[in-house]
Amino acid sequence: MQLRLNEDQELFRRTVRQFLEREAPLTTVRQLTDDPAGFDRGWWRKGAELGWTSMLVPEKHGGGNLSGEGLRDLAIVAEEMGRLVSPGPLLPTSVVLGAIAEATTVEAHSEAIERLLTGDAVAAWCAPAPGAAIAVTARPDGDGYRLDGVAEPVEAGGEADYLLVTARTDGGLSQFLVPAGAGGLRRDRLDGLDLVRRFARLTFDGVQVGQSDLVGSPDAAAEAAEHQLQTALVLQAAETAGAIERVLDFTIGWAFDRYSFGRPLASYQALKHRFADMKMWVEACHATTTAAALAVQQRTPDAVELVSVAKAYIGDRATEIVQDCVQMHGGIGVTWEHDLHLYLRRVTTNRVIYGTPNDHRRRVADLLEAADGSAK
Amino acid sequence: MSEDLQAFRLRAREWLAATMPRAEASADDGPGDGRDDEAWVRARELQRILYDGGFAGLCYPQEYGGQGLTPAHQRVFNEEAVGYEMPLLLNVPTFSICAPAILDFGTEEQKRQHLPAVIRGDEVLVQFLSEPRGGSDLAGAITRGTRDGEVFMLNGSKIWSSNAYAADYGLCLVRTDWDAPKHRGLTMLIVKVHQPGVEIRRIKQVNGNMEFCQEFFDDVPVPASDVLGEENGGWAVASRLLFHERTAVGGGSPYVSGPPGVERSGEAEPDLLELARAGDRLTDPVVRELIGESQVLERVADQLAVRVTDGISAGELPDAAASLLRLFMATSNVRRTQIGLEVAGPRAAAWPPSDFRDGGSYGVNFLFRQGASLGGGSSEMSRNLISERLLNMPREYAADRDVPFSQVRQSKTPAR
């Protein structure tokens, strides 16, 4: 859990937790397994009323946050959603909302902002993972552009009403907000590990977009895309941190309740020591998430490194913690009936989406090398 | 209300630039270079310069010679101090372990005698805790303090005390009541290090380092006024020393002054990038992943230190959380020394005499890898503490609980 929250943030956390426990307990998550969208639109609208969608949007555009630091407030929602492996496109919708609301083109997208804020619409963020090539191109065509190529895997890509697309141009990068109904767009749902988080392959075959669909100026697109990635990584880290904290909590409870040879599992030193390691890892995951959130929120120069530090560390550790908790549970831990696999699915998905831990370690090394070069 | 952080940063920056010498990369020729005494004289001089400039003992109360500032001020100062020659030898244990315990438990007289002297650089402190009979079971100490009127006669031996040869006073845990159960018969004495009856031997470690010492006490008289805390209440003081030690070793002490992760001026963090470049391996993606991983561990260690120290000071985490820092440092050191060995490759085992830093140092660091998992209490003790004190799991069985200490069975032969 994030420490040192102010009173408003603590109250908000409790409200979010109560809402999720009431409206989306794990039984609901299981029921949504066969739902094509993986979440309920009415439920999402209620979440939007609680403020989930408004945190990264300035007040003058209809948003607002609690502490003046919207990303840190939003990380509270992500962490609570991790605790209950919640459904819903919080990450892509937030990243897209933040992007279009802070771009110079904000006025052109006021309708989309309004619909996303109220929860009437949801969004998908189509950008490659760090180090991967951008497989969508934008070429001038008449007054606008035509988009060609493939984006995959795109979170909520099959359900989204708006898509924020990063495309290669002759001059560099451009970003466009594309309505889901655009002609030439094909959306194929992918099968996935997570029971309620959906991904899609989006094929752009001559999709026509106009100047008014541009998000920001092309000059600023690379920097904007980097900030979007940073925001996504912070929300992903917070969600994973919330998930592993909850798994460790209930596994510790299990260790106290479960007896063998007349004594609780929690009394065996061999197991106590493993729990100590897991506790340390969970605290370290929270620490690096908080540091990354603060850096991205304040746009400090080290934000680019700290999001990759968080991803590289949490990506590895979270899956190890949950796997070890499976081991602590014994045979019940590998059954469909037990909730552990819901968490293992979520943290495993988070480990490999938006760059694997090794991708991010290489990114950290790249940054070190660049800093070393500029220091000489 | 203490000085605004930004104003403090600028004042520190200006003063450091005008006053402190720049750190020079140390001409480290390898293990055991024997420049220790010189370094101690220099550390005391540097501390005096900091004191005269009003930048010594930032988090110590003003009435005892400190500045009464917050841990955030100390962090700012540490960031600004990068690149300057600093009295880093005084950080552990003097500033971050021993002096805080005197602040916690000392009488007014003891605080006035020792703290201002420490902050001026006139007094170096050391812990006399572990004994040859074993380090983890600290409360089983058998060094004797036999009371005779207003004096304790000290007899026995302590070991693993860092830099005792260069210290002025030691905080010494002794057994004063053999009929009480082990935790209730201990007393902490403030002992003058250099006096008749105290013999100090230095211990050479596998990395060539000679900072650790063993002391032998032969009828050393210690005045009763030098008891720190209560007579037979020494375990409370020792526990507090251990808390400060875990915090310091884990990088979370507000009393540590100077750039983080460095023990001596000019001793930089291992530069894996330079090492890989020298070995023509920088383009290997696997090597790049290892370099990234090492950097990640370093960053997360600092981030965890911030979380835990802030959490403890705000009352959101118990003191026992300091063990998290201690364990993280130890386990990440295991991994980082492995990475260093891998990136260095054969040059870690055989290097030209002039290239110790970019070759042999990684081999030697690997040899000493477990040091970080042993010093300041073993990692196994940290795991016991985390599971028992943070997670409230059942305590390990102990055969010496509630038994008069004189009846507790002891090892047949001591380790040393």
Mean pLDDT of B40-47: 95
Q: What is the pTM of this model?
A: 0.91
Answer whether A267 sits within 8 Å of B307, measured CB to CB: no
Q: What is the pLDDT of residue B390?
A: 96
Q: Which residues, at least 6 apart from B234, have a Cβ–Cβ distance to it below 8 Å?
A: B173, B174, B176, B186, B187, B188, B228
CATH number of A222-375: 1.20.140.10
The pLDDT of residue B265 is above 50: no
CATH number of A123-217: 2.40.110.10
Of B82, B33, B395, nearest in space to B266 by CA = B82
What chain A residue is nearest to B294 in terms of C-alpha separation?
A361
Mean pLDDT of A285-312: 97
Measured between beta carbons, which residues in chain B are less than 8 angstroms from residue A291?
Answer: 299, 303, 306
**In the CATH hierarchy, which top-level class contains the domain A7-118?**
mainly alpha
Give the A:B interface size as CB pairs under 8 Å: 132
- Could you tell me if B289 lies within 8 Å of chain A, comparing CB atoms? yes
Q: Which is it for strands A144-155 and A136-141: parallel, antiparallel or unpaired?
A: antiparallel
* Mutation for B interface: A361, A367, A369, most B CBs within 10 A: A361
Q: Is pLDDT larger for residue B253 or for residue B116?
A: B116
Mean pLDDT of A185-199: 97
Distance between start and end Cα atoms, chain B: 52
Give me the residue spans of the domains in chain A.
7-118, 123-217, 222-375
Query: Average per-residue pLDDT in chain B?
Result: 91
- Determine the distance from the C-alpha atom of residue B29 to the mean position of all C-alpha atoms in its chain, rounded to a whole number: 24
B324: closest CA of chain A, how far (Å): 6
- Could you tell me if B298 lies within 8 Å of chain A, comparing CB atoms? no
What chain B residue is nearest to A313 in terms of C-alpha separation?
B296
Percent of chain A's residues with pLDDT above 70: 99
Q: What is the pLDDT of residue B2?
A: 67
- Give tens-digit pLDDT for B206-217: 988 888 999 999
Helices (H), chain A: 7-23, 26-31, 41-49, 70-83, 90-102, 110-118, 221-257, 269-298, 303-329, 340-352, 357-375
CA–CA dist B172, A145 (Å, integer) = 79
Q: What CATH superfamily classification does B127-238 receive?
A: Butyryl-CoA Dehydrogenase, subunit A, domain 2 (2.40.110.10)
Q: Is pLDDT larger for residue A2 or for residue B20?
A: B20
Q: Where is A177: in which H helix or E strand?
A: strand A173-179
Measured between beta carbons, which residues in chain A are less than 8 angstroms from residue B269?
Answer: none
Mean pLDDT of B377-397: 95
Answer whether B310 sits within 8 Å of A288, measured CB to CB: no
CA–CA dist A1, B217 (Å, integer) = 49
Q: What is the pLDDT of residue B27?
A: 45
What chain B residue is nearest to A362 in terms of C-alpha separation?
B289
Give me the residue spans of the domains in chain B.
11-122, 127-238, 241-390
CA separation (Å) from A321 to A212, A241, A283, A344, B368? 47, 11, 12, 9, 28
Where does the pLDDT of residue B345 fall: very low under 50, low under 70, confident under 90, or very high at 90 and above?
very high
Mean pLDDT of B23-52: 76
Q: What is the pLDDT of residue A328?
A: 98
Mean pLDDT of B296-319: 93
Q: What is the pLDDT of residue B66?
A: 96
Answer whether A284 sits within 8 Å of B328, measured CB to CB: yes
Answer whether A366 sits within 8 Å of B324, measured CB to CB: no
The pLDDT of residue B267 is above 70: no
- Give tens-digit pLDDT for A211-232: 999 999 999 999 999 999 999 9
Query: Average per-residue pLDDT in chain A?
Result: 96
Mean pLDDT of A82-94: 98
Where does the pLDDT of residue B377 fall: very low under 50, low under 70, confident under 90, or very high at 90 and above?
confident
Q: What is the pLDDT of residue B415?
A: 53
CATH 3.40.50.150 describes domain B241-390: no
Where does the pLDDT of residue A98 fall: very low under 50, low under 70, confident under 90, or very high at 90 and above?
very high
For A152, counting Cβ atoms within 10 Å of its Cβ (0-12 exposed, 13-18 middle, 19+ buried), the class is: middle
Q: What is the pLDDT of residue B28?
A: 47
CATH 3.40.50.620 describes domain B11-122: no
Q: What is the DSSP string of A293-352?
A: HHHHHHT-TTHHHHHHHHHHHHHHHHHHHHHHHHHHHGGGGGSSSSTHHHHHHHHHHHHH
